[in-house]
Chains A and B, each alone.
Chain A
Amino acid sequence: EVQLLDSGGGLVQPGGSLRLSCATSGFAFETYAMSWVRQAPGKGLEWVSSISGNGASTYYTDSVKGRFTISKDNSRNTLYLQMNRLRAEDTATYHCTKVGLAGDWLYFDYWGQGTLVTVSS
């Protein structure tokens, strides 16, 4: 059974840092690309970042480029999101997602429960 367990959220002051983790099990982690998606309070879903299976390629939404870093440790089956220079508008629940490969195009087939990040003084 595929499982994604998000953690690491919390309250942080503007300009501060947090590292989110996503511990995974039930699939060949090194084979699959992974992503982070966030949802601000009362808002819709927003794709944040993706990383290839081997970790060599990374992608970010414009608003987090230069501040967030996605990485994966294939020896620990764990995905990370290092978030620096946090802003109030980064306040959201962050979900890790696994990329599905059964189709012609990508999709997110499994999602973590989410971890809440609150940026406030």
Chain B
Amino acid sequence: AIQLTQSPSSLSASVGARVTITCRASQGISGALAWYQHRPGEPPKLLIYDASRLEVGVPSRFSGSGSGTDFTLTIGSLQPEDFAIYYCQQFNSYPYTFGQGTKLEIK
């Protein structure tokens, strides 16, 4: 199974800050990566698919990049509603594994 490792596992940042989360795959997955935001009490929300395509309705401060084994999610200017847990997921092959999550907290 392909393993996804996110870093950092947690981070604290201020409103307005720019943050980057990394997701590394244990083998090449081309562009088959999605990013989700998960707030407590809500279902996960799709942010990015195909590594860099912004889902309809997601604010443009979110962006994704990467291909092969190394991927990043960047939030350009943090808003209060962005504090949540972020997960990457690969769709290159079954099982469709997730990263362990990155908890983004308010500083």
Which A residues touch B34, using CB under 8 A? Answer: 107-108
Flag whether A73 is at the interface (Cβ < 8 A).
no
Q: A111-B44, A113-B43 are known contacts. Are A105 and B31 too (CB-CB below 8 A)?
A: yes
Q: A47-B96, A59-B94 are known contacts. Are A109 and B31 too (CB-CB below 8 A)?
A: no
Q: Which of B11-19, B20-28, B49-57, B76-84 contacts A (4 or more CB under 8 A)?
A: B49-57
Flag whether A41 is at the interface (Cβ < 8 A).
no
Q: Which residue in chain B gives the minimum CB-CB distance to A48?
A: B95
Flag whether B3 is at the interface (Cβ < 8 A).
no
Which B residues touch A107, using CB under 8 A? Answer: 34, 46, 49-50, 89, 91
Q: How many Å lie between the Cα of A109 and that of B91 in the bound state?
A: 13
Flag whether A88 is at the interface (Cβ < 8 A).
no
Flag whether A50 is at the interface (Cβ < 8 A).
yes
- For A17-58 the 0/1 string (1 means CB < 8 A from B) is 000000000000000000101000000111100100000000
Which A residues touch B42, using CB under 8 A? Answer: 113
Which B residues touch A100, using CB under 8 A? Answer: 46, 49
- For A88-118 the 0/1 string (1 means CB < 8 A from B) is 0000000100001011111111111110000
Among B30, B43, B49, the residue within 8 A (CB) of A95 is: B43
Write the residues of chain B forming the contact surface with A, with a CB cutoff of 8 angstroms. Answer: 30-34, 36, 38, 42-46, 49-50, 53, 55, 87, 89, 91-92, 94-101
Known pairs A104-B32, A107-B46, A107-B89 / 13 extra A-B pairs, C-beta < 8 Å: A37-B44, A44-B98, A47-B96, A59-B94, A95-B44, A105-B92, A106-B96, A108-B36, A108-B46, A109-B49, A110-B46, A111-B43, A113-B43
The 8 A-B pairs with the shortest beta carbon distances in the complex, nearest first, are A111-B43, A107-B49, A105-B32, A103-B50, A107-B34, A47-B96, A106-B91, A45-B98
